[in-house]
């Protein structure tokens, strides 16, 4: 986007999902700084004429009102992780490089392109463009909408345009972080027998993690691989003090057949005998592939679905009883990387598939 168009897009950009991707990427929108990009997207949506547009903070809803039998959601977040010397975008052959190209401005660009160029889809469509997905869940735009305007989310089916490299990734894993704590008794290091070393006591918890055998669970033909890992450890007082406290932060990624309560119960079994505190959690989402729009979308994609190994906002829709899946052109393996990139053909293919499905 040029400086001459600070609140909108250059002529011709809105009719080309590749050009629109680049225009979105070139508006820096690190989480918490989405006002400029939201203003530009809002102006484009309000200029379409066939959409009802609502805004809450830096989250937008644009919806058709055609009286169709079913309503579907297409949603994408507008924020990115911090820039890593990778703006403005560049194009080299069939690759576009830049912060957010994969996660997930290419997917959001497709949703915006569809909203603007497909005025009469065979489903009524609610398009969401939201903020603060990449940071603390309490600031997530969809979370705020679910809390303040749950009626905005009402639908029969939802697609999150998260990076999946053009495949359908069904549902998502749940996630839980806990602190496993050990205690001891301080003493001078020269008289260690007078103390109890809390760091040494953590060895048993680490051994249990090293020996842990994670489940593989197949649900609706999609295999979810669980994982239990230490992600941070802290302890120690000084170089001459036997430590009296140590904490291991553990992350549990669990299959969506477990509830949050079941996930916590499992962790308490694994770490029986240790003090354990849950510090963050989010439920998973079952695949939801039986909904008629989902079956029709799978047929349009023409490839079998895979499990989503990670957490996405499909869980928010699942929590409301709305089946949802992930589908987007970006490659999740390069999301957040300094050389983050997206294949131009993946953008075109994704746009064509979704346009064909919407009819």
Q: For the chain, what are the domain ranges?
A: 13-172+285-358, 174-282
Catalytic residues: 79, 133
Which superfamily, per CATH, for 13-172+285-358?
A: Zn peptidases (3.40.630.10)
Pairwise CA distance, residues 96 & 98, whole Å: 7
Of 135, 118, 140, nearest to 127 (Cα)? Answer: 118
pTM here? 0.87
Distance between CA 241 and CA 82 in Å, rounded?
A: 39
Residue with the two structure tokens 């579907």: 72
With bands split at pLDDT 50, 70 and 90, how would you rate the model's confidence at 310? confident
Residue 295 has pLDDT above 50, yes or no: yes
Whether the per-residue pLDDT at 32 is higher than 60: the answer is yes
pLDDT of residue 23: 97
What is the average per-residue pLDDT within 211-239?
A: 96
Within 8 A by CB and 6+ apart from 201, the residues are 182, 183, 184, 246
Tokens representing residue 152 in the block = 């905005």
Distance separating alpha carbons of residues 129 and 161, to the nearest angstrom:
11
* Residue-level pLDDT at 288: 83
> Closest by alpha carbon to 226, among 268, 271, 248, 256?
256
Q: Are 116 and 14 in contact (CB under 8 A)?
A: yes
Q: 288 or 176: which carries more pLDDT confidence?
A: 176
Give the per-residue pLDDT at 44: 96
Say what the pLDDT of residue 3 is: 35
Q: What is the pLDDT of residues 97-126, one digit of tens each?
A: 999 999 999 999 999 999 999 999 999 999
User: Distances from the Cα of 337 to the Cαs of 31, 79, 97, 169, in angstroms?
Assistant: 16, 15, 10, 21
Residue 4 pLDDT level (bands cut at 50, 70, 90): very low
Q: CB pairs under 8 A, 24+ apart, for 317-321? A: 317/73, 317/153, 317/155, 317/158, 317/285, 318/171, 318/256, 318/283, 318/284, 318/285, 318/286, 318/288, 319/146, 319/283, 319/285, 320/146, 320/150, 320/153
Tell me the mean pLDDT in the region 45-49.
94
Q: Which two tokens stand for residue 75?
A: 């949603």
In the chain the first and final C-alpha atoms are separated, in Å, by: 30
The Cα–Cα gap between 57 and 288 comes to 30
pLDDT bin (cut points 50, 70, 90) of residue 54 is very high
Average pLDDT estimate for 131-136 = 92
- Residue 100 to residues 22, 67, 114: CA-CA distances in angstroms? 10, 35, 19
Contact 103, 335 (CB under 8 A): yes
pLDDT-derived band at 136, boundaries 50, 70, 90: confident
Average pLDDT over residues 291-318: 93
Q: Note the pLDDT of residue 193.
A: 96
Q: How far apart are CA 26 and CA 30, in angstroms?
A: 12
CATH number among 3.50.50.60, 3.40.50.150, 2.60.120.920, 3.30.70.360, domain 174-282 = 3.30.70.360
Q: Hey, what are 163's tokens?
A: 């990076």
User: What is the average pLDDT value for the chain, to the nearest integer?
Assistant: 95
**pLDDT at residue 12 in the model:** 87
Confidence tier at 138 by pLDDT (50, 70, 90) = confident
């Amino acid at each position: 986007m040029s400086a001459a168009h600070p609140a909108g897009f250059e002529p011709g950009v809105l009719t080309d999902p590749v050009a629109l991707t680049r225009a979105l990427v070139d508006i820096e929108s690190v989480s918490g700084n989405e006002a400029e990009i939201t203003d530009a997207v809002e102006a484009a949506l309000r200029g379409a004429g066939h959409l009802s547009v609502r805004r809450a903070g830096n989250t937008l809803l644009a919806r058709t009102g055609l009286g169709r039998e079913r309503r579907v959601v297409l949603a994408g977040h507008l924020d990115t992780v911090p820039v890593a010397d990778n703006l403005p975008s560049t194009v080299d052959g069939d690759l576009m490089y830049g912060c957010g190209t994969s996660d997930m401005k290419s997917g959001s660009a497709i949703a915006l392109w569809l909203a603007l160029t497909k005025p009469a889809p065979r489903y009524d469509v609610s398009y969401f463009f939201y903020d603060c997905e990449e940071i603390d869940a309490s600031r997530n735009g969809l979370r705020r909408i679910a809390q303040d305007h749950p009626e905005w989310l009402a639908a029969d089916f939802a697609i999150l345009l998260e990076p999946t490299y053009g495949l359908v990734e069904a549902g998502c894993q749940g996630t839980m972080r806990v602190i496993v704590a050990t205690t001891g008794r301080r003493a001078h290091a020269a008289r260690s027998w007078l103390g109890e070393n809390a760091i040494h006591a953590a060895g048993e918890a680490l051994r249990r993690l090293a020996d842990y055998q994670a489940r593989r669970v197949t649900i609706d033909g999609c295999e979810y691989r669980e994982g239990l890992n230490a992600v941070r450890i802290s302890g120690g007082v000084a170089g001459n003090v036997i430590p009296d406290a140590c904490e291991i932060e553990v992350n549990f990624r669990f299959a969506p057949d477990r509830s949050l309560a079941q996930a916590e119960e499992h962790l308490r079994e694994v770490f029986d005998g240790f003090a354990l505190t849950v510090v963050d959690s989010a439920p998973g989402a079952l695949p939801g592939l039986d909904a008629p729009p989902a079956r029709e979308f799978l047929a349009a994609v023409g490839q079998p679905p895979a499990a989503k190994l990670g957490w996405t906002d499909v869980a928010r829709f699942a929590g409301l009883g709305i089946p949802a899946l992930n589908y987007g052109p970006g490659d999740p393996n390069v999301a957040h990387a300094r050389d983050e990139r997206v294949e131009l053909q993946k953008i075109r293919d994704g746009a064509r598939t979704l346009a064909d499905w919407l009819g």
